[in-house]
Structure 1
Amino acid sequence: MRPDTAVILSAGRGTRMRPLTLTTPKPLLPLDGRPILAHVLERLQAAGVTRIIVNAHHLAEQMEAFLADYPGVTLLREEQLQETGGAITAMLAQNLLPDAPFYVVNGDTYWVDGPSDTLRRLAQAFDAAQMDTLLLLARAAGAVAETGRGDFLWPRDSGLQRRGERDVAPYLFSGVQIVTPRLFAQAPAAPFSMNCLWDQAMETGRLGAIVHDGVWFHLSTPEDLERANAVLAALEVGNTT
C-alpha cells in the first residue's frame, strides 16, 4: 500500500549553506529554475500523496507564503527547533499523522529517478510486518557533490551497519524514508535526531533500506548547489520537468 501522507522536514537553519540561507530558507533556494521544495512537493503528489505536512522555523514566513499556493499542504511552525525526530513526535502527539506508514522527506533533498519512480519503488519495498522504517540510500560514488566519508556499510553477509570512526562508507542517507508510528514508541524527549531511532530499529532488525537506482544530489553548501545547477543546466542527467 502506498502512503498517502508525507512529512517534509524543513525547519533547519541551513547553516552550511550560508550566506544564501541568511535571507532565504534552504528549501526555497533555486534548483533547476524552481525552489528545491517545489520539486519535492511535485514528486510526492505524483506518487499519490494527498496530505503533506511541512514544518518550518527559520524564515518561516517565507515558507508560509510559498505554500499558500499548495492546497492540501499544512505548514507547522516550530517556535523552538525539535530536530528531525522531535518534530515528528510532536506531530504524532497532535494526531496530525495517520496510524499507518508515511513518507518522511528532507526539504532540501533532490534526486533524479532511475528506471522506476523512486517513491513508488520505496513503497513497494516497504514491509510493515518486518520494518519500522525503510531508508532510501544513495551511493556515495554516484552522488553529485562532496559526500565525506559516508553513512552506512552494508556487508553482503549481514545487515546495514553504521560507519565506524575510521571507515569510509559507500552509502549515504538520501533524505527519503518511509516510517511507521511504531518507530516512535520509545522515542526520547524532544529535541532529538531520528538517528537514535534508526539505531534502535537496527538493533531489533527492523530497519530496512534500498539503494537509489538514479542520481542523487547532496545539497549542503553553496558549492553543492552551484554544481547541481550546472549539471542540470548541461542536461548531464534527466530532470523532473
Structure 2
Amino acid sequence: MITHAMVLAAGLGLRMRPITLTTPKPLVSVAGRTMLDRALDHLGRAGIDNLVVNTHWLPDAIKEHLAGRGEVRLSHEDVLLETGGGVAKALPLLGHAPFFVANSDIIWTDGATPALERLAHAWVDADMDALLLLQPVKTAVGYDGKGDFFINANDTLRRRGEADSAPLLFSGVQILHPRLFEGAPEGKFSLNVLYDRALAKGRLHGLVHDGNWYHVGTPEALPRVEALLRAEER
C-alpha cells in the first residue's frame, strides 16, 4: 500500500499570466475547484495521509489555502529546483517506499477504476523504479505536442526519439521509488534525467490512463476546459 505522495506546485505558471502574477497556478480555479485541490482530492480518495506540496512562487498563498485541508507538509524552494530537484529535496518527507507524485498544473478524471488505484495495482517493486501514467495524445485536451513515449508489450517505455510523433504523453501522475534518486544530480534538474537512467535499465514502465485528461496552459484555454469538465461532472 502506498502511503505517501507529493504534489508539485512550485512552478511559475508563466503562460498563465496575467492570472499568475497574483495567483499561483495551482490555485487557479477550473470549474469551481482549484487545480491543487483536484490533485489532493484524488490522493485523499486513494487513502494517502502523508502529503507533501512544494512551493516557490507566491508560497504564502498556497500555505494559507492548505491550512484548511488538514496536515500537509510544505517543501519550500528558495531557488526553483525543477521536477527532479524538487522531489529530491522532499525525499526525507516521503519515506523509504514507493510514493505518488502528481503535477498540480493538469487535471485528470478517472475511468471505471481510479487511476491511482490502477497505478498502485500495477506497481511491481522488483521490476520498476518509476511507473508513469500515460495519456493517449488523441484524447488529451489542451495538448498540442508530438507525444512522449511508445509502450512495449511488457509495459516498459521508449522515447519518441527521432520519430515524427508518439501515441502517448506523460500525464504528470506517477509512482516513483526513492532508489530512482540514487546518484541524482545536486540542485536543479528535471525528472527526465532519472527517467532516462531507468529507461536504460528497463525499469521505466507505463500505464495508459482510461479516463480524461486536461491541460490548462493559458487563460484562453480556461473556458473550454471548464465547459468540458462541467459537462463531465454533471
- TM-score class, shorter-chain normalisation, is over 0.9
Query: What TM-score, normalized by structure 1, do the two folds share?
Result: 0.92
User: What per-residue deviation string (whole Å, max 9, x for no partner) do you get for residues 83-141 of structure 1?
Assistant: 1111111122xx21210000000111211111111111110001111000100000110
Query: What TM-score, normalized by structure 2, do the two folds share?
Result: 0.95
Residue 155 and residue 207 in structure 1: after superposition, are their counterparts in 2 closer, same or farther (change >3 A)? closer
The equivalences for 1:146-185 within 5 A come to 146-154=143-151, 159-185=156-182
SS in 1 for 2:198: helix
Tell me how large the CA RMSD over aligned residues is: 1.6
Paired residues, number: 234
SS in 1 for 2:69: coil
Q: Could you say which structure has the higher helix fraction? A: 2
Contact 1:67 1:75 in 2 (8 A): no
Residue 158 and residue 71 in structure 1: after superposition, are their counterparts in 2 closer, same or farther (change >3 A)? closer
Q: 1:139, 1:223 → 2: CA distance?
A: 23
Choose which of 212, 221, 229 in structure 2 pairs with 1:224: 221
The equivalences for 1:176-195 within 5 A come to 176-195=173-192
SS in 1 for 2:141: coil
Q: Once the 2 structures are TM-superposed, how far is the Cα of residue 143 of structure 1 from its aligned partner?
A: 1.0
Q: Which amino acid aligns with 2:130?
A: T
**Residue equivalent to 1:87:** 86
**Residue equivalent to 2:67:** 68
Q: Which amino acid aligns with 2:60?
A: E
Q: 2:233, 2:111 → 1: CA distance?
A: 9
SS in 1 for 2:221: helix
Residue 31 and residue 159 in structure 1: after superposition, are their counterparts in 2 closer, same or farther (change >3 A)? same
Structure 1 stretches lacking a partner, 5+ long:
none
Runs of 4 or more consecutive aligned structure 1 residues displaced over 6 Å after TM superposition: none
Q: Once the 2 structures are TM-superposed, how far is the Cα of residue 166 of structure 1 from its aligned partner?
A: 4.8
**Residue equivalent to 1:52:** 51
**Residue equivalent to 1:78:** 77
**Residue equivalent to 2:141:** 144
Q: Once the 2 structures are TM-superposed, how far is the Cα of residue 165 of structure 1 from its aligned partner?
A: 4.2
